[in-house]
Structures are given as structure tokens and as C-alpha cells.
Amino acid sequence: MPTLADVAALAGVSKATASRALGRPDLAAPETVARVRAAAEQLGFVPNRAATQLARGRTGVVAIVVPTLDNTFFTPIIGGAQARAADSGMQLTIAVHSLEHAAQLASVEQLAHQVDGFLLTAPRGSEEIVRAAASYKPTVLIDREIDGMTSAVADTAAAFGALVTWFAEKGHERIIYIGGPAGSWQDRQRQAAIRAAAESSGATLTMLGPYPSTFAAGVETAEAVLAAGATAVVPYATSIGLGVMFALLNRGIRGVVVSSERMIVESLGLGDVPSIDVDGEKLGEVAMDQLMTLLGERKEAPPSRRRLTVPIS
């Protein structure tokens, strides 16, 4: 198996220069980089990525911090981030911390010694705690925005507002929004957008919640949905919507429309029911791209915000 020393000898440079040309080409002359790379290709030399990262003072590992593994919303985000990390020669590790309590910061700080950066999903943690967690390593916040922090967000608030407008245009005069977990940043954004849409369309809006993003919570809200006389329901999460559907159908009630994901609408034959589908993989990819940019900066760069459009269909 060819070694770095073999590559250096063939390229006519020192071993240190060959290492720099392969690992930090920005620090070597372009002609030297080209010569070393040609020698490596000719010999079939494959760099040891772990050794290269360590030589740069890096671990080659980044962490995505999620509040729970029970919510399937995070699964495609993790998948997208992992795929993009692999493209960059990095490894992704997963840690579960809700960041709702300051005591959890000790674990995050310990993890910071083992990784190069963080992707944080902290929907309910206070800004103070989230900022503290982000202070340990370069960090990108996912699906939430905080001033001064780089973030990637799926703009579900705009989609939820459009959904309420769609219902109103279809003749639904009474609409219910079933809110998500207490303290959720996205829930606050969605509530504001939904209120604005209902006001402009003239629909009567009933707000329920907060509720956890669970099937059981949806079942629990069915009585309130019926009491409000609503004909359209917009749930914070798919799991809540499924619980509402189950409870209503179990009572033989079919006149209430509940929005859901397109796959569920089609599989259950619900007909002309709008859906909101977040591209979680894309969100994870974008966030990882932002983190790679932060890790590559030689000096502190201004925070960037990315908002991904979420259409209704």
C-alpha cells in the first residue's frame, strides 16, 4: 500500500509539503498541489482522513443535538445532515438533549471536546440556554431563529397561513388550530401566521393548546373540535392530526377536514385535502452546508439565515 512518503518521493517534495498539498492545498503553491495530487493518483494513495483532521486540530466529527428520538420529524433532518457530512469527509454523531434546563449544558460542554461543531435543534429551550450551548463550538440552529446565530428553518409558518386561507376560500367559516408543545418557537410563528390569515379571510378561528406532538393529544382534542363546530382542523404536527381523525371517524363523523401530509391524504383517500410536507433531508443538508462554511472560516463571519419554502399541495 503506497504511503505519503512514496507520494512525496514521486512528486519530488518533502513529506511535510506533500501532506500540506493534500490536506491544506490553500497553503501550498498551485503547481505543487497539482504535482502531489498527480503522484497520489498515479500511486493510488488514499489519504487517512482521520489523521488529516487531527493534523488540523480537528476531530472530523460533528454532532446534531435533538430534543428526542421519538418525534419522526427529526429523522430525515438527521439523514440529510449525515449524507452531506459524509460528502465532506466528516462523521455525524447524534446526541439527545432538549436544552430546556441549564443542567444539560454540562453534557453539551463535555461533548464539545469531542466534536468540531454542532447542529442544534432546540425548539423549546430558552434563548439563554441555547446561546450558551452554541458558545462551545461553531453552531447552526435548525428550525428556529435567534438573533446573532446562523440558522436553517423550514418556513412552515407561511405554509400554515396559506393553509388557513385555502380553507376559508373553500367555504370553511370555522377553523381550529391545534397548537404544539409549550414554548415551541415554531408554534409561536405558526400561531401568528394563522391569526393573520384568519383575520384577512374573515374565518372564525379557535386556538387550542399547547399539546405535545402525539397521537394521544389529537384524540384528546376531538371533543373541543366538535364543541367549536369547526369544519376544518389545522394540527401542529401530523401525529396530532392522525389522533383527531381517528377519534372523529370512531364516532362516525366525516364532515370535518383535517390537514395532513400528502402521503397520508392519498393513502387514506381523503380527497381534496391540502397538505404540508417539510423536506427534512434538504433542511439537514442546508444546515450542514452552513456548518461546513463556519468550520472553514479563518475569521468570524456574520451569521447567516436560510429559510426554506414549504409549499402546500
Give mean pLDDT, residues 66-72: 87
pLDDT 10s digits, 109-130: 999 999 999 999 999 889 999 9
pLDDT over 50 at 54, yes or no: no
**Cα separation, 67 vs 131, whole angstroms:** 16
C-alpha span between 256 and 199 (Å, rounded) = 21
Contact 103, 117 (CB under 8 A): no
d(CA 201, CA 196): 9
Angstrom distance (rounded) from CA 234 to CA 207: 10
How far apart CA 30 and CA 42 sit, in angstroms, is: 18
Question: Reduced to 3 states, what is the DSSP secondary structure of residue 9?
Answer: helix
pLDDT in tens, 216-244: 999 999 999 999 999 999 999 989 999 99
Distance CA 145, CA 307 (A): 10
> Binning pLDDT at 50, 70 and 90, where does residue 274 land?
confident
Give residue 209's Cα distance to chain centre: 24
What counts of helices (H) and strands (E) characterise the chain? 13, 10
* 23 three-state secondary structure: helix
| Beta carbons of 221 and 214 less than 8 angstroms apart | no
- The answer, yes or no, to whether residue 100 has pLDDT greater than 50, is yes
Question: In the prediction, which pLDDT does 4 show?
Answer: 82
Ordered DSSP codes for 132-163: HHHTSS-EEEES---TTS-EEEEEHHHHHHHH
Contact between 233 and 247 under an 8 Å Cβ cutoff? The reply is: no
269/36: higher pLDDT: 36
Give ∠ CA 292-296-297 in degrees, rounded to 5: 120
What does the alpha-carbon distance between residue 58 and residue 276 come to, in Å, rounded to a whole number?
39
Output the nine-digit C-alpha cell for 116: 468540531
Residue 313: what pLDDT?
81
